[in-house]
A and B are shown apart, each in its own frame.
Chain A
Amino acid sequence: MNIDNTASQMRKGVLEFCILSIIKQGEAYPSDIIDKMKLANLNIFEGTLYPLLTRLKNAELLTYRWVESNSGPPRKYFLLTDKGADFYKELENTWNEMANAVAALTK
Chain B
Amino acid sequence: MKQVININFQGSVVPIEVSAYEMLKNYIESLSRHFAAEEGKDEIINDIESRVAELFQERLKAGATCIVDEDVQAVMNSIGRPEDLAGEETSANTQQQNNQNTNQQESTYSNTSGKRRLFRDENHKIVGGVCSGIANYFDIDIAIVRIVFLILLFSFGVGFIPYIILWIAVPSSAVQVIGSRRKKLYRDLDEKYLGGVCSGISHYFGVNVWIPRLLFLLPMISFAFRFDDSDYGFFPNIIHFSPSAFIIYIILWLVLPEAKTTTEKLEMKGEKVDMNSIKESVTEEIKGVQERAQKFGKEVMGVASEKGKAFGGEAKSVARKGGRSLGDVIVFIVKAFAYFIIGVVGISLVISLFAGGIVAIRYFSLKDFLITDGWQNFYTWGVLLFFIIAPMIGIITWIIRKITRVKAGSKILRLSFIAMWIIGWLSLALLGASLSNDFKHNANINEQSLTLSNPTINSLEITDHLPSTRYTRKRWFNGDFFDNVIDEDTISIRNVAIHIIKSPNDSFKVTTIKLASGSTRKNADSLASLINFNAFQQDSLFVIDNTISINKTEKLRNQRVILTVYVPVGKRIKINGHVGRTSTIRFNGPFSVNNGYDEFDNISFDNVETGWGDGTWYTMTKDGLVTADGKPANYNDDTNFRFDENGIDIRDGKSSVRINENGISVDDNIKSPDASNGGTYRYEDNKPKNKYDSIKINLDKAEQNFRDSIQKEKDKIDKQVESGIKKETSSLYKLLPGNLLMGVL
Interface on A for B, CB 8 Å cutoff? 4-5, 8-9, 11-13, 16, 30-31, 44-48, 50-59, 61, 69, 71-76, 87, 90-91, 94, 97-98
Contacts and interface: CB of A to CB of B under 8 A. Distances in A.
A87 B48 contact: no
Contacts of B11: 73
| 9 shortest interchain CB distances as A-B pairs | A45-B80, A47-B80, A72-B54, A55-B289, A72-B57, A59-B290, A54-B40, A46-B79, A47-B79
Contacts of B285: 51, 55
A46 B289 contact: no
Contact of A12 (B48, B79, B89, B297): B89
B47 interface: yes
Contact of A46 (B35, B51, B92): B51
16 contacts: A12-B91, A16-B293, A46-B51, A47-B84, A50-B48, A51-B44, A51-B89, A54-B40, A72-B10, A72-B53, A73-B11, A73-B54, A75-B50, A75-B54, A94-B296, A94-B300
A85 to B, nearest CB: 14
Main secondary structure of the interface of B (DSSP, over half): helix
B61 interface: yes
Interface string B405-442: 00000000000000000000000000000000000000
A13 B296 contact: yes
Contacts of B61: 71
Given A47-B48, A47-B82, A48-B89, 15 more contacts: A8-B91, A45-B84, A45-B88, A46-B79, A47-B84, A50-B47, A50-B51, A51-B40, A51-B285, A58-B289, A59-B289, A71-B54, A71-B58, A72-B12, A91-B293
A50 B35 CA distance: 11
Contacts of B51: 30-31, 46, 50
Given A5-B91, A46-B78, A73-B50, A58 B39 contact: yes
Contact of B48 (A8, A11, A46): A46
Contacts of B638: none
B92 A54 contact: no
B289 A16 contact: yes
Contacts of B82: 47
A19 to B, nearest CB: 11
Given A48-B85, A72-B12, A54 B48 contact: no
Given A46-B79, A54-B43, A12 B53 contact: no
B288 interface: yes
Nearest to B80: A45
A57 B88 CA distance: 20
Q: Which of A12, A47, A61 has the most CB of B within 10 A?
A: A47
Interface in B56-79: 56-58, 61, 78-79
Contacts of B31: 47
Interface in B275-309: 285, 288-290, 293, 296-297, 300-301
Nearest to A2: B91
Interface of B: 10-12, 31, 35, 38-40, 43-44, 47-48, 50-51, 53-54, 56-58, 61, 78-82, 84-85, 87-89, 91-92, 285, 288-290, 293, 296-297, 300-301
B454 to A, nearest CB: 104
A90 B420 CA distance: 74
A94 B51 CA distance: 33
Contacts of A16: 289, 293
Nearest to A13: B296
A52 B289 contact: yes
Contacts, number: 113
Q: Which of A45, A58, A75, A98 has the most CB of B within 10 A?
A: A45
B47 A12 contact: no
Contacts of B54: 69, 71-73, 75
Contacts of B300: 94, 97-98
A4 to B, nearest CB: 7
Contacts of B50: 72-76
Contacts of B80: 45-48
Nearest to B297: A90
A52 B48 CA distance: 12
A36 B517 CA distance: 99
Contacts of A97: 300
Contact of B293 (A54, A73, A75, A87): A87
Given A50-B48, A56-B289, A58-B288, A94 B301 contact: yes
Given A30-B47, A59-B290, A71-B57, A44 B88 contact: yes
A26 to B, nearest CB: 20
Given A16-B289, A54-B43, A58-B39, A4 B87 contact: yes
Contacts of A11: 88
Contacts of B53: 72-73
Contacts of A44: 88
A11 B288 CA distance: 19
A46 to B, nearest CB: 4
A69 B48 CA distance: 16
A61 B48 CA distance: 21
Contacts of B290: 59, 61
Contacts of B92: 9, 12
Contacts of A59: 288-290, 293
A65 to B, nearest CB: 14
Contacts of A13: 296
B40 A45 contact: no
Contacts of A8: 87-88, 91
Nearest to A57: B40
Contacts of A52: 289
Contacts of B84: 45, 47
B15 to A, nearest CB: 15
Nearest to A44: B88
Contacts of B85: 45, 47-48
B10 A73 contact: yes
Contacts of B296: 13, 91, 94
A87 B297 CA distance: 10
A31 B296 CA distance: 27
Contacts of A53: 47
Contact of B12 (A46, A58, A73, A75): A73
A52 B297 CA distance: 18
